[in-house]
Amino acid sequence: VYARRSATGATKDARRLAGSTTGIVGKAAAFLTESGFLQRTGDDSGGTYRTTPRYQLQVRDMAGTAAMAELLELGVVPVSDGSATLLPPPEGDDLELAADAGLPFHA
């Protein structure tokens, strides 16, 4: 669909066509600006924008969710039942460090 659209176009009163590539990109940029994801920084070549921390956080969250889903699908990350995975040692375990454990701050 994107490849079949005209790149640009104008109406009789010099507005860009809503269905053209530049029209669609312009609508998307306006929406992201109104939503607080982009901030307009200039008018060069139709507009210059920078991302906001809100946008960066949203993208990071979406990427993390997708990465976790992929890892789960590959079986790299086990699915938990919600119970604790780091349990305290059983009663009676010797909690002393082994001799020469390699920790310089223990004598």
In a domain, 55, yes or no: yes
**pTM of the shown model:** 0.52
- Could you read off the pLDDT of 5-51 as tens digits, one per residue? 565 566 665 566 667 777 888 889 999 999 999 999 988 777 899 99
In a domain, 98, yes or no: no
In a domain, 88, yes or no: no
Backbone dihedral angles phi then psi of residue 26, each to the nearest 5 degrees: -60, -40
Q: Which domain does 70 fall in, by range?
A: 35-74
Total domains in the chain come to 1
In a domain, 59, yes or no: yes
Name 16's Cβ contacts closer than 8 Å, sequence gap at least 6. Answer: 8, 9, 10, 22, 23, 26
In a domain, 27, yes or no: no
